[in-house]
Structure 1
Amino acid sequence: MRNLVVSIVLLMTPLLSSAQDVRLQAIFGTSAMFEIDGKRRLLKSGKTSPEGVRLVSVTSDYALVSIDGREQKLTLAAPVAANYQQAERAEVRLNADSRGHYSTTAWINGRRVDVMVDTGATSIAFNYPTAKSLGLDLARARPMTVSTASGVEKAYRLNLASVTIGGITVHNVDATVLGSDFPRVTLLGNSFLSRVDMQQQDGLLLLRARN
């Protein structure tokens, strides 16, 4: 289980004034923790909160809730249900870990990978094993060399069709694949970060999609 608590918030325009704000915070076996209209509620499968939110079922991947007779799946990567409208803009809120790093899960070309924010990296950077596991076609990539702490290494430059974090998706993103097992964690560099609005304060990093 990840130590870093990642909160991803989708900003939505209210459809009905009575609509509730429901956020999945954690999953515990057959129970799930929610924040409902600002109040924490621990619900077991089949139970209903005082606000009328029913936990239909829960798995290790998602919680299925029913609100006003409508069902929606919430995951820890996309935990917010509010008014059942599509997000106008999306926010991703990342809490710093004990080392001051910001980490989260991304979907790259439709495949899941753990990433760490690195504003010093020019592009998204993968190690070779991760690139292969993601099915990246290095045969069509442009060979290059890069300087690392270990010296000069062979690398490949390519273009990613899409990178998604929470509700934020950026298309046609530059990436670099190093020909070794460095970096150990995929780096979320400026080829992605420069295309979102970013704000940092009090140990919180806010990423916001651009219109």
Structure 2
Amino acid sequence: MDLQSIWQTATDIIRDVPRSGLLIATVAAVLGSVIGSAIARRHGIGRFIATTSTIALAAILVVVMLQVSRFDPRLDIAVPELGLPRQTVEGGETRVPLAADGHFWIDATVNGHRAAFLVDTGATLTAVSAPLAAEAGLEPRQGGVPVRISTANGTVSAELTTIDTLAFGNISATGLDAVIAPNIGRTNVIGMNLLSRLGGWRVEDNTLVLSPRPSGAGEGGAR
């Protein structure tokens, strides 16, 4: 790697630091632990700083594990819904803040069963995990041809299904095509086939804003 490449990499890292709350918190906790340990022998406050920093590092580790668990089926012991920013309905629109992992996560219900969905504009179809499909009573479509989808574990075969109702915020979609994706743990994905039903969607100030269809264009604004 030449000097220019090293400089560019360093510049990218420095530019991205303010955007990563976890990175800033980790650096602060490490510095606090080092400083606290250094002055612990002379002042009691040093022990307090070191202990607080250690607790903070442990909390950061838990948050990271929760984020990773959304994508790795081997870490299903964690609860994917924890640590997600709270979505709101304002001015007739559903607003979803960017999560600390750099993705938009929607708190939705599938046939009445609550689940977290990753918004993926690169996905053609909405996908549900095998556990959620079982909970929501989703069955593979009779006579349907399996489709191939790409996951973190490679390309896998998935069965087509139909979601009766997928709802979140002030939006509800009925009769939605989806795939039951195996080997992805509890990760669920909202794809373009749902987003295209909306009146509109956009990203502003690290917030995903989703607008239902105008009244009369479909039940729940996304039919």
State the TM-score bracket (shorter-chain normalisation). 0.5 to 0.7
Alignment of 1:74-113 (within 5 A): 90-113=92-115
Other-structure match for 1:22 = none
Aligned residues of 1:100 and 1:203 also touching (Cα < 8 A): no
Match of 1:207 among 200, 210, 217: 210
8 A contact 2:141–2:161 mirrored in 1: no
> Counterpart in 2 of 1:114?
116
Aligned with 1:132 (options 131, 134, 149): 134
Identical columns (%) = 27
Stretches of structure 2 that go unaligned for 5 or more consecutive residues are 1-80, 215-223
Q: Check 1:160–1:118 CA distance in 2 against 1; reply closer, same or farther (3 A cut).
A: same
**Residue 100 of structure 1 aligns to a residue in which SS?**
coil
Q: Which has the larger radius of gyration?
A: 2
Q: 1:7 to 1:130 in 2, by over 3 A?
A: closer
TM-score by length of 2: 0.54
Of structures 1 and 2, the one scoring higher in RCO (CA 8 A, sep 6+) is 1
Higher strand share: 1
Q: Distance in 2 between matches of 1:9 and 1:172?
A: 23
Q: Measure, in 1, the Cα distance between the counterparts of 2:123 and 2:143.
A: 19
2:167 aligns to what? 164
- Cα pair 2:141 2:160 within 8 Å, conserved: no
Q: In the superposition, relative to structure 1, how do residues 141 and 101 fare at CA in structure 2: closer, same or farther (>3 Å)? A: farther
What one-letter code is carried by the residue in structure 1 that aligns with 2:183? Answer: D
- Confirm or deny that 1:2 pairs with 2:95: no
Change (3 A) 1:141 1:130: farther
Aligned partners of 1:141 and 1:156 also within 8 Å: no
Tell me which protein shows more helix as a share of its residues: 2
Gapped runs of 5+ residues in structure 1?
A: 12-89
Q: What is the Cα-based RMSD across aligned positions, in Å?
A: 2.0
CA-to-partner distance for each residue in 1:125-153, whole Å, 9 max, x for gaps?
Answer: 01222211221122637241314243442
Shift of 1:177: 0.8
